[in-house]
Every structure is written in structure tokens, then in C-alpha cells.
Amino acid sequence: MRRETVLNYSANINSALWQALEKEHLDPENKISEAQWNSFLGMYSSIYADQASELGQDLFDEYKDNYLNLRSV
């Protein structure tokens, strides 16, 4: 992840749900190469974003339902 991107995320940390997973987080023993990591990112970045968005919506709905009593219509 480029430094500018990290700074942008840091500026918004208190106003958004987000999770950035770098190679060091998922591959601490450095078992795959940078090229393999980039291939993984190409294959799964969109899926990860979609799943994270779905989880965020589910958690928000749960919060509304259980803590704010704002049941969905």
C-alpha cells in the first residue's frame, strides 16, 4: 500500500469502517513472493471489498435493530 493511501485512510479512521490487510499481516512468514501477492490481490481485492461491505451493512443493521430499535421496513 502506498504511503499516500495509508495517510488517506488514517484521516478517515474515525468516520468509516475499514480494514487494510497488507502482505505482512496475512503472510508473516513470507511464504509467497511479491508477484504471487500481487496475483492474489488481483484475484481477490474486489471480493474482499464486497464481503467487507456486506459485513458492515449486517453489523449496522444489527446495531439498529438491537440498540436503537429502528427495525428495517
Give tens-digit pLDDT for 25-58. 999 999 999 999 999 999 999 999 999 999 999 9
Q: Which three cell numbers stand for residue 66?
A: 438491537
Out of 22-26, 36-40, 57-61, 68-72, pick the least confident.
Answer: 68-72
Looking at residue 6, the DSSP 8-state letter turns out to be: H
| C-alpha distances out from residue 32 to 23, 39, 47, 69, Å | 9, 10, 20, 47
Task: Please say if the pLDDT value at position 14 is more than 90.
Answer: no
- Would you kindly state where each structural domain of the chain is located, as residue ranges? 3-68
Sign of CA dihedral 49, 55, 61, 67: negative
